[in-house]
Amino acid sequence: MGCVIATKKMMKPRDYKSEVPVVWCPGCGHYGVLDAIYRALAGAGIEPSQLISISGIGCSSRTPYFLHSYKMHTLHGRAGAVATGAQLARPDLTVMVFGGDGDGFSIGGGHMPHMARKNVNMTYVLFDNGIYGLTKGQYSPTSPSAMKAYTTPYGSPDEPLNPLLYMLTYGATYVAQGFAGKPSVCAKLIQDGLQHKGFSYIHILSQCPSFNTVDSVETYREAVAAIPDGHDTSNLGDAMTLARDGVNGGIPMGLLYQITRPTLDERMHAIVQGVSGHKGYDLNRIITLSRP
């Protein structure tokens, strides 16, 4: 079960709710994502005392406040780097990262490839609302082209980044996408990500009715399409095709890709064993096994 600590105690979603009031705008998609996170944690049976939740800056980065867990509210874009350190220091705990599209792919864009390629044993939930919400409406790396926002009054001149292709390209071993309007689907994807050994990336489309008037909940609801049952989740090429072309043009929702290979903490453990003269150390074998 990877980094998950299995317990005999039955957990309920409410066991993860902190005493801090949730303070997002009415209609914000993040409420659905938070609900999914509570359900996923309960489904995976993780004790709050075994969970570290880490975030950067942004509306979604407030999530750790609403969770009953150990938590770190870190620097803008740096949550993944902090989480990597936390995971190496305490590989026995479950590490989760929460953040948005700007935090992850703009300010934190230098960190995303490395969590993926190193296969850090953590679960990263990215709330994508295509805008900087906390700072009141600047366009982000995932804003639709030509979208008008506070910093693009004549329309965005950029093409949006494709986060799924990005994470697949850099070697993430679990890549899934959900939509905040379907919290049950998101809960399943997050729970499976928690139970995956390695770097699990769950991308969730989450509307921001206050500042993104293009990607509304109604638009998403019509645009998303479930990934067909026959999809081979171990085939990188098929996953990339889905990430690029969607499902008959619809936004793919579900699990795109999942493989196993040794994690960063396993490799580091092997090195420590070797340096300290333990028998059975063979980093080359572990590295060979780690190649997909």
- Which does residue 101 touch among Mg ion, ligand SF4, none (CB within 5 to 8 A, set by kind)? Mg ion
Please, are residues 56 and 50 in contact by the beta-carbon 8 Å criterion? no
Which residues neighbour 136 within 8 Å (Cβ) at sequence distance 6 or greater?
150, 211
Site string for ligand SF4, 100-129 (x = CB under 6 A): -----------------------------x
- Per-state percent for the chain, helix, strand, coil, to nearest 5: 40, 20, 45
Which residues neighbour 272 within 8 Å (Cβ) at sequence distance 6 or greater?
none
24 in contact with ligand SF4 (CB under 6 A): yes
210 in contact with ligand SF4 (CB under 6 A): yes
Cα angle value 213/217/221 (rounded, 5°): 130
Give the burial string for 124-155 (b: 16+ CB within 10 Å, else e): bbbbbbbbbbbeebbbbbbbbeebebeebeee
User: Which residue's CB is nearer to Mg ion, number 56 or number 193?
Assistant: 56
> Least distance from C-beta 211 to ligand SF4, angstroms?
5
> Least distance from C-beta 103 to ligand SF4, angstroms?
12
235 in contact with ligand SF4 (CB under 6 A): no
Q: Alpha-carbon distance 118 to 203, whole Å?
A: 19
Q: Alpha-carbon distance 281 to 89, whole Å?
A: 20
> Least distance from C-beta 150 to ligand SF4, angstroms?
12
Among 2, 4, 30, 204, binds ligand SF4 (CB under 6 A): 30
Number of residues that bind ligand SF4 (CB under 6 A): 12
- Which does residue 25 touch among Mg ion, ligand SF4, none (CB within 5 to 8 A, set by kind)? ligand SF4
Which residues neighbour 285 within 8 Å (Cβ) at sequence distance 6 or greater?
none
CA-closest candidate to residue 186, choices 159, 226, 216, 218: 226
> Least distance from C-beta 278 to ligand SF4, angstroms?
49
Please, are residues 154 and 146 in contact by the beta-carbon 8 Å criterion? no
Q: Alpha-carbon distance 164 to 252, whole Å?
A: 10
- Which does residue 78 touch among ligand SF4, Mg ion, none (CB within 5 to 8 A, set by kind)? none
User: Which residue's CB is nearer to Mg ion, number 129 or number 173?
Assistant: 129
For residue 91, give Cα distances in angstroms to 50, 111, 169, 200, 265: 11, 20, 25, 15, 7
204 in contact with ligand SF4 (CB under 6 A): no
Residues that bind Mg ion (CB under 5 A): 100-102, 129
- Which does residue 48 touch among Mg ion, ligand SF4, none (CB within 5 to 8 A, set by kind)? none
- Which does residue 80 touch among ligand SF4, Mg ion, none (CB within 5 to 8 A, set by kind)? none
208 in contact with ligand SF4 (CB under 6 A): yes
Among 32, 45, 133, 160, binds ligand SF4 (CB under 6 A): 133
User: Which residue's CB is nearer to Mg ion, number 136 or number 278?
Assistant: 136
- Which does residue 210 touch among Mg ion, ligand SF4, none (CB within 5 to 8 A, set by kind)? ligand SF4
> Least distance from C-beta 58 to Mg ion, angstroms?
6
Which residues neighbour 222 within 8 Å (Cβ) at sequence distance 6 or greater?
none
Residue 125 backbone zone (phi > 0: left; psi -120 to 50: alpha; other: beta): beta
State the residues that interact with ligand SF4 by CB under 6 A: 24-25, 28, 30, 59, 129, 133-134, 208-211
